[in-house]
Amino acid sequence: MRVIDLNRNGGIGANSLFVKLDSFNFIVDAGLNPKFAGNLATPDYTLIEDADIHFIVITHCHLDHIGSLPVLMRKHPEARVFMSQASQMLIERMLHNSCNVMTRQRAEKNIPEYPLFTHEEIDQAAERFETIPFSKPVQLSEADDEIELKLYPAGHVAGAGGLEISSSGKRYFFSGDVLFDNQYTLNGASFPIENRFETVFLETTRGETERPKERTRASEIDRLLKTITNVLRRGGSVLIPVFALGRMQEILTLINNARKEGLLPTCPIFGAGLGLAVADHLDQISKRTGQVKFTRKTIKELRLRRPPREMTPGKEPPEQGIYILSSGMMVEHTPSYNLAASLLPQGRNAICFVGYCDPQTPGGKLLDTKPGETFLFETIDYQTPVRAQIERFEMSGHADREELLKFALRTHPKKVVLTHGDPGARAWFAIALAENDPALIVIDPKPLEPFQL
């Protein structure tokens, strides 16, 4: 097996792995890095432009895994493209939204190569998508070789799958992004722990994050609800930055359940954007597959309102309430970024982070800013002392590092390849894996450099 990490900037971003196994060339994921713009945000597909790509597998529909898929498909028009049924129901909506964002950024940021693909290309690409039902193998043949693909539910978000590849009597596993805990809207991962793998490609997102033993998901939900209640009672508003796919629908369900159980005061609840469009798709996925536990009824029961169209930095919104807005990392030019600039100067308000934040994003930087220190909203040229309450809750859509370590070791691989993590996160896994199994070969691939397995 020959592998290249095509993510030119490493870490978490434009996730894409090229793999040559026997007679097959294939790619796992085709992401886009939100921290970069233009072609630099994509994987470096020039490294494989002369390769005959037989198939592409998409593990789930977050943009850091699908954001450059039409570009890759344009370059390799004969490649088959596989994903789960739920992902197939979501991916067009996610890509069309990305095209809209890039079109806007072309004018706002003067990025001439945007959009990287058109709406028409997305429609054409969709005709090539093929689904793989969970736990049901798909066999492919090339020359005298055969290969088997199998997806397993990975938790994380609707449609997310871990990929098992079988060839020449050996098994390989790509974890993708994984969450083993059950969520309100989605069951946790169901991975094949009874199998022995030659190599496991393991996500390492939370490698630098140690969850205190007393902070279970249930206790963190309880702490979130108490925080919201206290903020509302002192006359403040709460911003919960969320990812449009998965996290928004999970938080809406959590808030709705808490309201029904009398655990939250009655107040206006605001939400808007791509996450509500995704909610329609999750409603359909729930009805068609039974793999998701979310319906449009949740939004109706919450009487969800749209937030103000214009928000002024330093001036609170006209209505107190709970604001569930994307993006989850408070990226520039998003509703959560703009509302944070309105809420941050007032101590009665709170911003509650419920998912992973890249340290280099505005959300990550805010989490590292101490109360009273000045925070700069660069793109709107506004700075303010941090007076609002800033909280992080251990409710990530990614598995804890100890859970991933346990999974990898239980499958007795000869090798583990570290993926989807910052340098410190990968370093923790490298040390922990070596300590638990000194014979295990651990590889932290360098971006764009081929390596053999």
* Secondary structure of the chain in HEC code, one letter for each residue: CEEEECCCCCCCCCCCEEEEECCEEEEECCCCCCCCCHHHHCCCHHHHCCCCCCEEECCCCCHHHHCCHHHHHHHCCCCEEEECHHHHHHHHHHHHHHHHHHHHHHHHHCCCCCCCCCHHHHHHHHCCEEECCCCCCEEEEECCEEEEEEEEECCCCCCCEEEEEEECCEEEEECCCCCCCCCCCCCCCCCCCCCCCCEEEEECCCCCCCCCCCCCHHHHHHHHHHHHHHHHHCCCCEEEECCCCCHHHHHHHHHHHHHHCCCCCCCCEEECCHHHHHHHHHHHHHHHHCCCCCCCHHHHHHCCECCCCCCCCCCCCCCCCEEEECCCCCCCCCHHHHHHHHHCCCCCCEEEECCCCCCCCHHHHHHCCCCCCEEEEHHHCEEEECCCEEEECCCCCCCCHHHHHHHHHHCCCCEEEEECCCHHHHHHHHHHHHHHCCCCEEECCCCCCCEEC
Check: CATH 3.60.15.10 for 2-209+397-452? yes
204 touches 431 (CB < 8 A)? no
| Residue 149 in tokens | 């693909």
pLDDT of residue 309: 86
Inter-CA distances, 416 with 168, 192, 424, 442, Å? 19, 16, 17, 5
For residue range 44-94, list pLDDT tens digits in order. Answer: 999 999 999 999 999 999 999 999 999 999 999 999 999 999 999 999 999
CA distance 380 to 147: 52
Per-residue model confidence (pLDDT) at position 25 = 98
Q: Indicate the residue type of 344.
A: L
For residue 102, the one-letter residue type is M
Per-residue pLDDT, 279: 94
Q: Provide, rounded to the nearest whole percent, the portion of the chain with pLDDT above 90.
A: 91
Average predicted confidence (pLDDT) for the chain: 96
Q: How far apart are alpha carbons 155 and 307 in whole angstroms?
A: 30
Task: Cite the residue boundaries of each domain of the chain with CATH code 3.60.15.10.
Answer: 2-209+397-452
Identify the pLDDT of residue 81: 99
Task: Name the residue among 227, 243, 239, 214 with its Cα closest to residue 398.
Answer: 243
Give which of 451, 384, 445 is closest to 419, Cα–Cα: 445
What's the pLDDT tens digit per position in 283-318? 999 999 999 999 999 999 999 999 998 899 999 999
Structure token digits, residue 203:
């996500």
- Residue 184 burial (CB < 10 Å; 0-12/13-18/19+)? middle
Confidence of residue 358 (pLDDT cuts 50, 70, 90): confident
Cβ contact 35:358 at 8 Å: yes
Q: What angle do CA 63, 243, 156 make, to 5 degrees?
A: 75
For residue 316, CA distances in Å to 231, 326, 339, 342, 370 come to: 14, 18, 8, 5, 21
- Tens of pLDDT, residue by residue over 222-242, are 999 999 999 999 999 999 999
First to last CA, the chain: 5
**Tokens 């233009």 found at:** 38
Summarize pLDDT for 131-163 with one digit per residue, the tens: 999 999 999 998 889 999 999 999 999 999 999
Please tell me whether the peptide bond between 43 and the residue prior to it is cis, using omega within 30 degrees of 0. Answer: no
Residues of the chain with CATH 3.40.50.10890: 217-392
Fold of 217-392: Rossmann fold (3.40.50)
* Contact in structure between 381 and 405 (CB atoms under 8 Å): no
Provide the percentage of residues in the chain whose pLDDT is more than 70.
Answer: 100
Residues 6 or more apart from 159 whose CB is under 8 A from it? 60, 61, 83, 84, 85, 86, 87, 88, 89, 90, 285, 291
Q: What is the pLDDT of residues 387-426, one digit of tens each?
A: 999 999 999 999 999 999 999 999 999 999 999 999 999 9
| Confidence class for position 174, pLDDT limits 50, 70, 90 | very high
pLDDT recorded at residue 35 = 85
Distances (CA, A) of 450 to 1, 11, 277, 409: 10, 16, 40, 25
Mean pLDDT for 10-35 is 96
pLDDT attached to residue 392: 96
Average pLDDT over residues 252-266: 96
For CA atoms 435, 436, 441, 444, the dihedral sign is negative
Q: Give residue 416's pLDDT.
A: 99
CA dist 311 and 89 (Å) reads 33
Mean pLDDT (whole number) for 326-355 = 95
pLDDT higher than threshold 90 for residue 215: no
**pLDDT at 164 exceeding the cut of 90:** yes
